Structure 1
Amino acid sequence: MDLQQMRYVLAVAETANFTRAAERCHVVQSALSHQVARLEKELGARLFERTSRRVWLTPAGEAFLPAARQALEAAERARAEVAATTGAIRGRLTIGSIPTVAAVDLPAVLQDYHVRYPQVRISLRTGSSERFIDQVRAGELDAAFLGVPPGFRSQGVHDRELAQGRHVAVVAPSHRLAMDREVELRLLADELFVDFAEGSAARAQSDQAFTAAGLHRDVAFEVSGIELMVRMVRNGLGIALLPAAFDAERHGLRVVPITDGPVRVERLVWSRSTPSPAAAAFLGLLDSDATASTA
């Protein structure tokens, strides 16, 4: 068994196709198929079931895949650690970020990082704060930018606060509040809302603000992404509460400050394990940027 065979198995599993897997690995299909067959013979079990139309993992393949991924990640980490002793930072950096992060200019930070460490492959994922915490804890992400309510604490990871600010009401240009300079939370209670899923950190700060004020609101539409939320608000189906840094004008919407609006805290989380050289360099860059901005 060798690492290249593991890479082939992983490619077939992810593409569900031997031809596409071979293209990804830059080898001819016959060579890839031969190596997978050799590995199956060594293991004494088939890793894939095949028909003329599809390929899928067997139970043995399902069992093999996580360990193979860990072996490949360990090998990549070992190469990166050795390179770091000579001053070279390489490997992989995987970052998670909520879509509305405002505490840092993430594209600018990643551009700076890429210029400094061009041998690092950077991956960025967007999603929910809760999922990111689990992924950082599991080692699937090196770090993540969250948006959470005040008092929120992440378990099993390192974290620090980056910034906090109030939410604003985001409305369609034709909405009755579109030209108001500011509004109180109680005046929004009769509106229909477009928001994220109940129980999510992205929604919790808004729910908590209404509850603390003794108010009830009607969340008529639950969405999983900011783009769908924006389209629904633009079509007059409801209003949304989003961070003040949200660029409403770019989406053809209006922003109305809320005097007693919800507060969102942005936090950075990273693994409690020793960071890879690529991750350590990223965290160091964020620290240097934070120091420069407060100097």
Structure 2
Amino acid sequence: MELQQMRYVVAVAETNSFTRAAERCLVVQSALSHQIARLERELGARLFERTSRRVRLTAAGEAFLPAARQCLDAAERAGAEVAAAIGEVRGRLTVGVIPTVAAVDVPAALQTFHRRYPHVRIGLRVGASGHLVEQVKDNSIEVAFLGLPVSDRPEGVATCELAHDELVAVVAPGHPLADESEVDLNRLSSEVFVDFPTGSAGRAQTDQAFAAARVTREVAFEVTAADFMARLIHQGLGVALLPSKYVPNLTGVVVVPVTDAPARIEHLVWNRFTVTPAAKAFLEVLGVVSGEGD
């Protein structure tokens, strides 16, 4: 069993195509198919079901895939550790971010990191805080920027608090609240809301605040991207509560302070057990020592 064979299996599983997998791996399809067939003979099981229309994993393939990914990750980490031992930073750095990250200019930080460590492959994933924490734990990503209610704390990862922020009301320019100097949750409860999906940390901080104020609200639009929220708000379809330090990135909306506003904390998290050389270097770029956190 060879690492290259595992790479081919992962590529086919992710693309659902032998042709696209071969293109990704920069080999001819016949060579990729030959190596996967050879691996299947060694394992004594078919990893893929192949038809003229589709390619999908068999039960054996589903069982093999996570282990193959772990082996490839371990091999990459081993190579990165060797490079670090001779003074080079290599490997990969995949960063997770929430859509409303504001405490750090992530693109600028990645540019600085890339200029300093050009041999590291950089990736970026946008997602909800809870999902990003799980990806950090299983080493799918190296570090992540989160936004959580003040009552919550990332579990099972090393963490560094970056900033505290309050949410503000975001309304359309022609909205009756647009000219108000401030508003409270009781007044906002009569409005139709645009918000993040149920169960996300971004939604939880607002739900908790309304529950604490003992008022209810209607959330008619659930979306994952704050810029799309702004487009819905601009059309007068609803209002939202968003972090005050993030809303300057939005256009076509008006911001109104909230007297009893919910708050959030932005966190930077990383795996408390496995800090790759690239992750450690990125933390240093951000001014964070990898030994900090809990």
- Please classify the TM superposition score into its range, dividing by the shorter chain length: over 0.9
Tell me by how many angstroms 1:208 deviates. Answer: 2.0
Q: Which amino acid aligns with 2:192?
A: L
Match of 2:85? Answer: 85
Residue 226 of structure 1 corresponds to 226
Report 1:104-253 matches (<5 A): 104-247=104-247, 250-253=250-253
What's 1:293 paired with?
none
Q: Which runs of 5+ in 2 are unaligned?
A: 290-294
Paired AA for residue 43 in structure 1: L
Contact 1:170–1:240 under 8 Å retained in 2: yes
SS of aligned partner of 2:37: helix
Amino acid at match of 1:217: R
Deviation at 1:181, TM superposition (A): 2.7
Once the two structures are TM-superposed, the CA of residue 218 in structure 1 deviates from its matched residue by: 2.2
> What residue in structure 1 maps to residue 99 of structure 2?
99
Q: Give the match for residue 21 of structure 1.
A: 21
Q: Secondary structure at the match of 1:287?
A: coil
After superposition, residues 216-295 of structure 1 pair within 5 angstroms as 216-247=216-247, 250-287=250-287
Cα distance in 2 for partners of 1:174, 1:75 equals: 57
Letter in 2 for 1:94: T
Instruction: Give the structure-1-normalised TM-score.
Output: 0.93
Instruction: Return the alpha-carbon distance in structure 1 between the equivalents of residues 173 and 113 of structure 2.
Output: 39
RMSD of aligned Cα (Å)? 1.6
Query: AA paired with 2:174?
Result: S
* Contact 1:148–1:205, Cα closer than 8 Å, also in 2: yes
Alignment check: 8 A CA contact 2:99 2:224 kept: no
How big is the shift at 1:77?
Answer: 0.6
SS across alignment from 1:251: coil
Contact 2:182-2:259 at 8 Å conserved across structures: yes
1:163 to 1:59, Cα distance in 2 relative to 1, 3 A: same
| Pairs aligned (count) | 289
Q: CA deviation at 1:251?
A: 2.6
Aligned counterpart, 2:292 = none
Unpaired stretches in structure 1, ≥5 consecutive residues = 290-295
- In structure 2, the partner of 1:43 is 43
**Partner of 2:104: helix, strand, or coil?**
coil
Q: CA deviation at 1:120?
A: 0.6
In 2, Cα distance between equivalents of 1:200 and 1:280: 28
| One-letter amino acid matched to 1:140 | S
Query: In 1, Cα distance between the equivalents of 2:66 and 2:122?
Result: 22
The answer to whether the 8 Å contact 2:227/2:250 transfers is no
